[in-house]
Amino acid sequence: MESETPRDFSGLRAEIVARHERLPKRLAQVAAFAVGHPDEIAFGTAASVAEKAHVQPSTLIRFSQAMGYQGFSDLQAVFRQYFRDRVPDYETRLKALTGTGSASKLALLFDGFCDAGERSIAAFRHSIDYRHLEKAIDLMARAESVYLIGLRRSFPVVGYMAYAFGKLGVRNVLIDSVGGLAAEEISFATGADAVFGISFAPYASDTVALVGRAAERGVPVVAVTDSPLSPLAKDASVWFEVVEADVEGFRLLSASFALAMTLTVAVAERRRET
């Protein structure tokens, strides 16, 4: 019924997550993409969204109708309204920049990356749950060693955390897969330690496997990922949802770095207090 169709982003997102496992395979694929990449749904075309979600455009229509909307544009309007409410001048600024004849492609690209970083940080700042932050800090501060797992494009985040932890005197183990020894390295982690794991869709299979292996052995896990449907979320003691905006398919790590350094410095300070 129309009255039951969510007309705000939070309601729609909750409905997608609740119904994900009951949806047919292709519609579930769209559901996961929509939750993990709301900016793509909001600002993309049906063709571009379908390509990035690896489905046919007709599948977007079927998904929209399954969620109670008339079509993709009807569902898309909910996502667009969410971003208008959050960053009201984004589309205006983008249109103005695009329409400026003197703006070079390089200037457009640079502005695009700056704007993507700003949007990512603004969105995460709005959604952060400080209770989760306190729990994560407590878990990591009590750990004998913090194991850092973030392969492929997430590696810069854990790499910098390892550097900062070293400077701050916090014992840590950076799992970098050099020599193919990642499985052996994580096997030393115990319940007295903690794991920090980070990965975004398409999730690095080694990161998922290593975090899962640690969780099975009772090691507390703090995870950073982009969706409640992420495989990292189910294994985490506490997890954070970070959705990074992208430019021409390249996603920054602006919000991820902000969170990672907040955790790093706060953990060091908490350890000094105890």
Q: Which of these three, 59, 86, 113, is where a domain ends? A: 86
**Is residue 101 one of the residues assigned to a domain?**
no
Question: Which residues, other chains included, contact 97 with Cβ-Cβ below 8 Å and sequence gap of 6+?
Answer: 103, 107, 108, 111
- Considering the domain architecture, whether residues 155 and 207 belong to the same structural domain is answered as yes
Strands 250-251 and 246-247: what pairing? antiparallel
Residues 173, 80, single domain; the answer is no
Query: b or e along 151-161 (b: 16 or more beta carbons within 10 Å of the residue's beta carbon)?
Result: bebbbebbebb
- Helix then strand then coil, in percent of the chain rounded to 5, is 65, 10, 25
Asked, for residue 55, whether it belongs to a domain, the answer is yes
User: Each residue of 145-179: pLDDT tens digit?
Assistant: 999 999 999 999 999 999 999 999 999 999 987 77
Of the residues 51, 67, 86, which one is the last residue of a structural domain?
A: 86
**Last residue of one domain, picked from the residues 30, 61, 86:** 86
Q: Could you give the percent of the chain with pLDDT greater than 70? A: 92
Please give the distance of CA 224 from its chain centroid, rounded to a whole number: 6
Closest CA to 245 of 85, 118, 78: 118
Structure tokens at 114: 């700056």
User: Which neighbouring-strand residues pair with 247?
Assistant: 250
First to last CA, the chain: 56
Q: What is the pLDDT of residues 39-76, one digit of tens each?
A: 788 888 999 999 988 999 999 999 999 999 999 999 99
Provide the domain limits for residue 193. Answer: 130-273
95, part of any domain: no
Comparing 11 with 223, which gets the higher pLDDT? Answer: 223
Hey, what are 27's tokens? Answer: 């519609």
Residue 111 belongs to a domain: no
Amino acid 117: pLDDT? 93
Say if residues 20 and 32 touch (Cβ distance below 8 Å): yes
Q: Flag whether 113 is in a domain.
A: no
Closest CA to 258 of 124, 73, 101, 103: 124
CATH number for the domain spanning 167: value is 3.40.50.10490
Helix boundaries (H) for 87-194: 90-98, 105-127, 130-142, 155-168, 182-186
Copy the structure tokens of residue 199: 């990965």
Cα distance between residue 102 and residue 82, in whole Å: 31
> Are 69 and 146 in a shared domain?
no
Confidence category of residue 103, pLDDT binned at 50, 70, 90: low
- Whole-model pTM: value is 0.72
Spatial CA neighbour of 271 closest among 166, 137, 141: 141
- Is 97 domain-assigned? no
Residues 200 and 253 in one domain: yes
Residue 122 domain flag = no
Q: Residue 28's domain is classified under what CATH number? A: 1.10.10.10
Q: How many domains is the chain built from? A: 2
How many CB atoms sit inside 10 A of residue 194's CB?
A: 26
Tell me if 108 sits within 8 A of 95, measured CB to CB.
no
